[in-house]
């Protein structure tokens, strides 16, 4: 468990792996910068979500040509590839990866880490799969593009590799994130954690004008998760939340 949790922490801060590891000649490793968060989810269409015009099809595997096409959509820009890097890291487990080419034929390798929707690699991504990927990705957004170390917890009934375990180095419950970025229109939501205003950092909730954020609080301005969501199981009832606003895929984030 300790080794896995260290891996979760590493993922959320966007750690860089060895650029020469498992890369074939002619490939480029698509990594998330250690000094930048996911500034926004590139490729999101406010009417049709991420499923339209971006080379993504949730009915096909990420590794298939139909599921994620070479040379179009997200693969054509640095911002789009950054979004895809987070998507694959959220969806696939460690040790799994996909390789795709941009419009110039350059190959990029995208590696998994959290594994919240591993079956998508094989071509299966139902509504629950979409919601877990969405919660994970929305939890990574930092509109200031700054590097922020985070700790995530989630319901082990659905995500046993994550669970409710906390880390004393991350004592402040920032908030919870949920929604479905694949829907039409996409849904991106959050609610305030108990410490959302403590040591708030640029680009995250509790710091600056929420009008600049792509997500919204469905319970109202500064509404708390405690008052509106189902808490995690005993003896971890203070860790996070199992359900919010009808969503059972919820990522609760803790920060330093």
Please determine, for residue 197, whether its predicted confidence score (pLDDT) is greater than 80: yes
Question: Domain range for residue 200?
Answer: 148-255
- Domain check: are 127 and 80 in the same one? yes
Q: Are residues 128 and 166 in the same domain?
A: no
Q: Say if residue 34 is in the same domain as residue 82.
A: yes
DSSP class per residue in the chain: -HHHHHHHHHHHTTPPPPTTTT--TTEEE----TT--B-S-TT--TTTGGGSSSSB-TTS-TTSTTTB-TTSGGGGSHHHHHHHHHHHHHHSBTT-EEEEE-TTS-EEEEE-BB-SSGGGGGT---HHHHHHHHHHHHHTB-TT-----EEEE--TTT-TTT-S---TT--EEEEEEEEETTSSS-EEEEEE-TTTTTT--TTSTTTS-GGGSS-B-TT-TT-BHHHHEEEPPTT-TTT-EEEETTBS--EEEEE-
Question: pTM (2 decimals)?
Answer: 0.84
pLDDT-derived band at 171 (thresholds 50, 70, 90) equals: very high
pLDDT range class, residue 15, cuts 50, 70, 90? very low
Is residue 233 situated within a structural domain?
Answer: yes
79 lies in a domain?
yes
With respect to residue 140, please indicate whether it lies within any of the assigned structural domains.
no
Residue 143 lies in a domain: no
pLDDT at 149: 84
Question: Looking at the structure, do residues 166 and 86 belong to the same domain, yes or no?
Answer: no
Evaluate whether residue 245 is within a structural domain: yes
Q: Which of 105, 132, 159 is the last residue of a domain?
A: 132
* For residues 52-57, average pLDDT: 64
Question: What mean pLDDT is reported for the chain?
Answer: 80
**Mean pLDDT of the region 135-158:** 88
Q: Mean of the pLDDT values across residues 163-181?
A: 94
Domain count, the chain: 2
pLDDT in tens, 62-119: 888 777 888 888 898 888 888 898 899 999 999 999 999 999 999 999 999 899 999 9
């Amino acid at each position: 468990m300790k080794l896995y949790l260290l891996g979760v922490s590493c993922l959320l801060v966007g750690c860089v792996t060895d650029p020469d590891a498992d890369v074939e000649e002619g490939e480029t490793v698509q990594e998330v910068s250690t000094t930048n968060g996911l500034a926004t989810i590139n490729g999101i269409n406010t009417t049709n979500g991420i499923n339209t015009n971006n080379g993504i099809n949730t009915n096909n595997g990420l590794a298939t040509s139909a599921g994620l096409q070479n040379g179009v959509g997200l693969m054509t820009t640095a911002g789009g590839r950054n979004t895809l890097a987070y998507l694959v890291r959220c969806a696939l487990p460690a040790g799994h990866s996909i390789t795709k080419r941009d419009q110039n034929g350059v190959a990029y390798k995208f590696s998994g880490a959290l594994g919240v929707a591993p079956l998508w690699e094989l071509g299966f991504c139902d509504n629950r799969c979409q919601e877990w990927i969405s919660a994970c990705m929305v939890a990574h957004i930092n509109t200031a593009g700054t590097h922020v170390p985070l700790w995530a917890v989630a319901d082990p009934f659905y995500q046993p590799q994550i669970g409710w375990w906390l880390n004393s180095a991350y004592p402040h419950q920032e908030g919870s994130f949920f929604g479905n970025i694949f829907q039409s229109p996409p849904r991106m939501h959050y609610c305030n954690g108990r410490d959302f205003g403590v040591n708030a950092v640029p680009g995250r909730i509790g710091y600056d004008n929420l009008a600049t954020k792509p997500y919204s609080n469905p319970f109202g301005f500064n509404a708390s998760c405690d008052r509106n969501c189902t808490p995690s199981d005993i003896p971890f009832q203070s860790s996070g939340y199992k359900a919010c606003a009808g969503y059972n895929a919820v990522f609760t984030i803790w920060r330093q």
